[in-house]
Structure 1
Amino acid sequence: MTNHMSTIPVSVFIIAQDEEQHIGRLLDSCQMFDEIIVVDSGSKDNTQSIAESKGAKVVHHDWQGYARQKHFAMGLCQHEWVLNLDADEELTDEFVNEVQSFIAGNHDCVALKCRRNDLFIGRFFSRFTRLPTNTRLFLKAHAKYRLEDKVHEGPDFEKKIGYTNVYFKHYGYSNIAELTDKYNKYSSLKAEEKFHKGKRPSVLKLILIYPLEFIRNYLVYRYCFSGLRGFIFSHLSAYYALLKEAKLFEFSKTS
């Protein structure tokens, strides 16, 4: 529990392993929330001690995949409203205020979809860029994680979702090596998952996915307003899309 006299009745839950570089910054930004839970899957660094020093309840749980890990962490939360965050993220005061307003609001939404702004090559993206969205605040009773999915695992909701343009900050894509490592890992997981669901590669998609994804990011999502950083990021996003299709093709030929 945090030490504030008046805290926001929301449980923050975070899954983490070896995140000492980032987790202190995140937890400092979460101090207005009544409960913070960190589910650690076996850190060898100072992640657990940093989390405990910031008032988080730390629970060990062996790694079972993104969806199952988050589902377990959500089950530990005491409040109806929960906020799922990654260790390499950070909330702004504006975001915290938005959460407080939303849970107190007169509406029938069970979740809030918000924006994410990535730090990339030393800066966050332009305010003119159409930032990606993530559903992070929700009523836990209405959230369903896709437990068989290996990556991008939800949660899903059957009822109404609210939207805000207020963003949180993300530091996990800060340089090209880190981003391409993640894209390589995620694309393997996604291709394997699609293959086991019976999806097969498409020649047309393999040919067109890169240029179409680049155009979508650079022009439609307006990463062009972030100069050469936006140009590079758009190419890397297109490469990620191509990797998922190429690895699905590879699975179909070698499995």
Structure 2
Amino acid sequence: MSKIPVSVFIVAQDEEQHIGRVLDSCQAFDEIIVVDSGSTDQTKSIAQSKGAKVIHHDWPGYAKQKQYAKDLCQHEWVLNLDADEELTPQFIDEVKQFVSAEHDYVALKCRRNDLFIGKFFSTLTRLPTNTRFFKKDKVAYRVEDLVHEGPDIHGKTKQTSVAFNHYGYADIAQLTDKYNKYSSLKAKEKYLKGKKASALKLLLIYPLEFIRNYLVYRYCFSGLRGFIFSHLAAYYALSKEAKLYEFNKSS
């Protein structure tokens, strides 16, 4: 059976725990590229054993590394994944149909299903969206962004309810470590752009973000796991604003 004419690109470092799973899920696609920034574990050898092209490139930041990896791709259509993610058969079928159909879309926005404390969230939850599948020449990463480096799309985007799986928030320690790292980067990014912290936002962001996640996004249907996750997401929002305030005061 011929493979789907799509290039998958993944940036990674020290991801031996996850890299095999994501690459196994990508075997239907014609090209898989892993850009490694200096792994000291078995990430590179596992990726090579799964048929991926492995290229070393020193870490320049999230957005610049993804832009570098995207530019290595040979196909018109490209799919970006993180090492701790996994494609489902439904997602692969959606991409295959999207590539073969006649339309004027240049990107596909899909949903992400997070594993948290041993289970994925309820099907009643409003899952977060990510734009991961697009035409190579219609997208550019915002290289000035230090984190959450979503690409700029030049053209029409179609949204699908089909989701891929994400294992990077599997437990509380892992999630809080990532939130601490990401909030520092986001606060620094805002500071470098001349942003100022808001006293009103500092006062209100935690309760409003909790309500948004727990009730509006319906994490309430995942029981205590959803309650805990909503609080952690609210604290992440508060941390970004608090660290920006800290940057402002120390400058």
TM-score range, shorter chain: over 0.9
Q: How does 1:18-167 map to 2 (within 5 A)?
A: 18-167=14-163
Under a length normalisation based on structure 2, what TM-score does the superposition of the two structures give?
0.99
Q: Aligned partners of 2:154 and 2:164: how far apart in 1?
A: 25
Deviation track 1:21-53 (CA, whole Å, cap 9, x = no partner) reads 000000000000000000000000000000000
- Gaps of at least 5 residues in structure 2 are none
- Gaps of at least 5 residues in structure 1 are none
Deviation at 1:211, TM superposition (A): 0.3
Amino acid at match of 2:227: F
Q: Is 1:173 the counterpart of 2:159 in the alignment?
A: no
Amino acid at match of 2:101: G
Amino acid at match of 1:15: V
Q: Is 1:8 the counterpart of 2:13 in the alignment?
A: no
Q: How does 1:202-213 map to 2 (within 5 A)?
A: 202-213=198-209
Matched position secondary structure for 2:90: helix
Deviation at 1:106, TM superposition (A): 1.8
Matched position secondary structure for 2:153: coil
Q: Aligned partners of 2:25 and 2:245: how far apart in 1?
A: 42
Amino acid at match of 1:27: L
Partner of 1:231: 227
Q: Aligned partners of 2:58 and 2:154: how far apart in 1?
A: 30
Q: Aligned partners of 1:145 and 1:155: how far apart in 2?
A: 4
Residue correspondences, number = 251
Q: Aligned partners of 2:60 and 2:219: how far apart in 1?
A: 35
Q: Aligned partners of 1:106 and 1:238: how far apart in 2?
A: 42
Alpha-carbon RMSD across the aligned residues, in angstroms, is: 0.5
Deviation at 1:158, TM superposition (A): 2.6
Matched position secondary structure for 2:140: coil
Amino acid at match of 1:105: A
Q: Aligned partners of 1:25 and 1:152: how far apart in 2?
A: 23
Matched position secondary structure for 2:115: strand
Q: Which runs of 4+ in 1 moved over 4 A?
A: none
Matched position secondary structure for 1:38: strand
Q: Aligned partners of 2:48 and 2:160: how far apart in 1?
A: 31
